């Protein structure tokens, strides 16, 4: 399956298994979503389970919270992560805090899907990676898969989770893995082992990272598209990197991270999002706090620049294998 098919399969399955599951968002119903992720779901499950919504992110998330308070399990879509901002009040002030402020009287088990990330000539408002605006919010879970197998298993876990989950989908990975070599032809998921996805029910647990590549020289902490960029960088530099795909950004799997860095003694943090106060800062701080006496080099960060995401300068902005490889070399030389 592609990631698109895997995500659709997760929703299809959960719509079937749990009558409380509802899917809605802009263009999600009849048309099946601008990325085809919900294609066919309305025809199969009906208009009261899968439906189109007005162009109102605050309305979509706000109404979903009300539905969750009633007892449903809404899975809503924000068309691009770049457009979640009008819903931020509902996400931060309401979904994230409802359980705590009501001492469990009301809860908001909602899943908010958002296509994110760049590498697609999306410009300023079709490329952003706003994960840190969610990881900073207590009460939220933030998740980002990097392959079809995880995408399905994580989305099922997210829908079943009693907490609100921000589910970020790197749209650059929808149809195939992408390692930053934009001049090479796309490899489809059908040619990749993680593109093999069971038809039926399975889960990938939240708060569990995956060691994508076992290595001994240094640890790369990555997620989303950057997992493949890091793989390419390892291959091209010949550095035996251990690549940890975080999968759940927050709360995260600290044990896997600490175990890996303690083993390698070096760490490179990679993300598409802008650098300053980005999620990499938290990862860097965690590694420093938990692995200080095992570190043999300063922790490197490779990120998007501290600028809005440009259009024409796509590949100067996107942290490709060249920049990641250079950081890996610096970490090895230190």
Using CB under 8 A, list all residues that contact another protein: 22, 48-49, 53-54, 56, 58-59, 62-72, 74, 86, 89-90, 93-94, 97-107, 138-139, 141, 161-163, 207, 251, 254
Which candidate, 224, 133, 212, 214, places its Cα nearest to that of 178? 224
Compute the least distance from the CB of residue 76 to another protein, in Å.
10
Pairing type for strands 241-245 and 300-304 reads: unpaired
Neighbours of 30 (CB within 10 A): 12
Compute the least distance from the CB of residue 56 to another protein, in Å.
5
Among candidate residues 45, 126, 181, 192, the one labeled active-site is: 126
**CA–CA separation, 171 vs 6, rounded Å?**
13
Handedness of CA 219, 220, 222, 228 (dihedral sign): negative
Which candidate, 243, 308, 273, 24, places its Cα nearest to that of 136? 273
Among residues 237 and 260, whose Cβ is nearest to another protein?
Answer: 260
Compute the least distance from the CB of residue 286 to another protein, in Å.
9
Among residues 63 and 288, whose Cβ is nearest to another protein?
Answer: 63
Element (H, E) at 11: helix 3-17
* Cβ partners under 8 Å of residue 93, min gap 6: none
What is the three-class DSSP state of 130? coil
Among residues 31 and 106, whose Cβ is nearest to another protein?
Answer: 106
**CA–CA separation, 9 vs 38, rounded Å?**
9
**CA–CA separation, 109 vs 304, rounded Å?**
32
Among residues 140 and 168, whose Cβ is nearest to another protein?
Answer: 140
Among residues 1 and 87, whose Cβ is nearest to another protein?
Answer: 87
Which candidate, 265, 223, 220, places its Cα nearest to that of 134? 223
Among residues 107 and 212, whose Cβ is nearest to another protein?
Answer: 107
Compute the least distance from the CB of residue 90 to another protein, in Å.
6
Neighbours of 322 (CB within 10 A): 15
Q: Catalytic site residue 126?
A: yes
Phi, psi (rounded to 5 degrees) for 6: -65, -40
**CA–CA separation, 328 vs 334, rounded Å?**
10
Peptide bond into 251 cis (omega under 30): yes
Compute the least distance from the CB of residue 66 to another protein, in Å.
3
Compute the least distance from the CB of residue 169 to another protein, in Å.
22
Phi, psi (rounded to 5 degrees) for 72: -90, 175
| Catalytic residue annotation | 126
């Amino acid at each position: 399956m592609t990631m698109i098919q895997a995500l659709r399969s997760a929703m299809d399955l959960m719509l079937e298994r749990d009558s409380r599951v509802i899917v809605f968002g802009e263009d999600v119903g009849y048309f099946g979503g601008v990325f085809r992720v919900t294609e066919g779901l309305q025809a199969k499950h009906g208009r009261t389970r899968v439906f189109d919504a007005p162009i109102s992110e605050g309305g979509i998330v706000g109404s979903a919270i009300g539905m969750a308070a009633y007892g449903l399990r809404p899975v809503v879509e924000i068309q691009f992560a770049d457009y979640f901002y009008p819903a931020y009040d509902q996400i931060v002030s309401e979904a994230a805090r409802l359980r705590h402020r009501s001492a469990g009287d009301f809860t908001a088990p909602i899943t908010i899907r958002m296509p994110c990330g760049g590498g697609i000539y999306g410009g300023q408002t079709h490329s952003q990676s706003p994960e840190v605006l969610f990881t900073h919010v207590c009460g939220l879970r933030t998740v980002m898969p990097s392959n079809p197998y995880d995408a399905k298993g994580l989305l099922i876990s997210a829908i079943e989770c009693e907490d609100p989950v921000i589910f970020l989908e790197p749209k650059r990975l929808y149809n195939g893995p992408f390692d930053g070599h934009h001049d090479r032809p796309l490899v489809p998921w059908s040619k990749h082992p993680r593109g093999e996805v069971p038809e039926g029910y399975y889960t990938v647990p939240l708060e569990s990272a995956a060691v994508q590549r076992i290595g001994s020289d240094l640890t790369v902490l990555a997620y989303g598209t950057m997992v493949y960029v890091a793989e390419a960088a390892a291959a091209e530099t010949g550095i035996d990197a251990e690549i940890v795909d975080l999968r759940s950004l927050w709360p995260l799997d600290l044990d896997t991270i600490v175990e890996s860095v303690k083993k390698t003694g070096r760490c490179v943090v990679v993300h598409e999002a802008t650098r300053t106060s980005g999620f990499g800062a938290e990862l860097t701080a965690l590694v420093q706090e938990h692995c200080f006496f095992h570190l043999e080099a300063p922790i490197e960060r490779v990120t998007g620049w501290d600028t809005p995401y440009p259009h024409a300068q796509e590949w100067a902005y996107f942290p490709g294998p060249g920049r990641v490889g250079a950081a890996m070399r610096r970490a090895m030389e230190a």
